[in-house]
Amino acid sequence: MYELLKPALLRLPPETIHEATTGLLRVAQRAGVHRAYAGHYTVDDDRLSVDAFGQSFDNPVGVAAGFDKNAEVPRALAALGFGHVEVGAVTAERQPGNQRPRLFRLREDEALVNRMGFNNEGADRVGKRLDEQSLPDAPVGVNIGKSKVTPLEDAPGDYRYTYERVADAGDYFVVNVSSPNTPGLRELQNREQLAEILEALQDAGAAPLLVKLSPDLHRDAVVDAIDLANELGLDGIVATNTTTDRPETLESPNAAESGGLSGKPIRERATRQVRFVAERTDLPVVGVGGVFTAEDAYEKIRAGASVVQLYTGLVYRGPSIAKSINEGVLELLERDGFDSVEDAVGADL
């Protein structure tokens, strides 16, 4: 059905489609319809289960931050067969984000460029929504960003405020200092400022706590971030966010738009970053970037990712993507003689 509708859908503005999709999922969740379609999309097989950063995942495929910014549809998304859902990014202050248009399809490249700017309803409202709704059995992570109006020197308090508003509902928390769409945000990836933010969150009791890195970081800076995560005893590392780089292979005219590039063109780069991180830490790694197929997910798992996340793949492949990937991963595990996903994690290291 999605393949039949996709040509018409892709002629509409991407943010319009995203809002309509979220609206449909919201209706399905309120009406309980998500429970009916869960049986179709969910692949139930113990070989897919993974334990990482204190959480148990029924399968390794999750929804990345950015899709459900305001924590409106976590149950409806989990019912599509995903093993976890990461909501946000949430900021302390409610903010509208950047001016539209701010989300662009690169159809020829199966990619997106976004310069959303952390648009969300703010920590007070999102935290209240998380507290009041019934959440799925799958882990729900909360991605935390910095408010645009907050000076960089006040970032630790800003992140802590947001954490304290979502603390009771989240199963894990991700510090986002790597989005390219908030001015100055990536400066917080330097060791001193990142340490202040992470320590402020740890003092507030944030756990499990992960940090999300940019694919554009110099390797020395990545090593510093990994060393810091090890020293502070974080629970995991997310690799990676979107990139401001534009590969020469891009064909779409929308490649000229500013913002973060996601999707197929960053798959190999993201996998290299997963491997680079996994080789330097025993902390669990979440692999993000260009996951469309079982092969895409599996290569990140073999490179050291305990679980993977996707967003752009959902746009181009539709609601059955988690089912397709999980079924394919089972075939790949059997082909390679692994008894489970956990056995395959880091097999190529």
Question: Is 117 a known ligand-binding residue?
Answer: yes
Question: Is 116 a known ligand-binding residue?
Answer: yes
Closest CA to 91 of 15, 25, 181, 23: 181
Residue 164: φ, ψ to 5°? -65, -25
Question: Is 1 a known ligand-binding residue?
Answer: no
Question: Is 65 a known ligand-binding residue?
Answer: yes
Question: Is 323 a known ligand-binding residue?
Answer: no
Question: Is 212 a known ligand-binding residue?
Answer: yes
Residue 48 CA to residue 254 CA, distance in Å, equals: 37
Question: Is 271 a known ligand-binding residue?
Answer: no
Residue 291 CA to residue 32 CA, distance in Å, equals: 29
Question: Is 68 a known ligand-binding residue?
Answer: yes
Query: Is 155 within 8 Å of 146 (Cβ atoms)?
Result: yes
The one-letter amino acid code at 191 reads R
Residue 188 CA to residue 157 CA, distance in Å, equals: 13
Question: Is 143 a known ligand-binding residue?
Answer: yes
Residue 237: φ, ψ to 5°? -135, 135
Residue 228 CA to residue 192 CA, distance in Å, equals: 9
Catalytic residue among 147, 179, 214, 262: 179
Question: Is 148 a known ligand-binding residue?
Answer: no
Q: Note if 179 is an active site residue.
A: yes
Question: Is 66 a known ligand-binding residue?
Answer: yes
Please report the DSSP string for 118-178 in residue order.
Answer: S-B--HHHHHHHHHHSPPPSS-EEEEE---TTS-GGGHHHHHHHHHHHHTTT-SEEEEE--
Question: Is 241 a known ligand-binding residue?
Answer: yes
Question: Is 114 a known ligand-binding residue?
Answer: yes
- Which active-site residues does the annotation give? 179
Task: Show binding-site residues for FMN.
Answer: 65-69, 89, 143, 176, 212, 240, 263, 290, 311-312
Task: Show binding-site residues.
Answer: 65-69, 89, 114-118, 143, 176, 181, 212, 240-242, 263, 290, 311-312
Task: Show binding-site residues for substrate.
Answer: 69, 114-118, 176, 181, 241-242
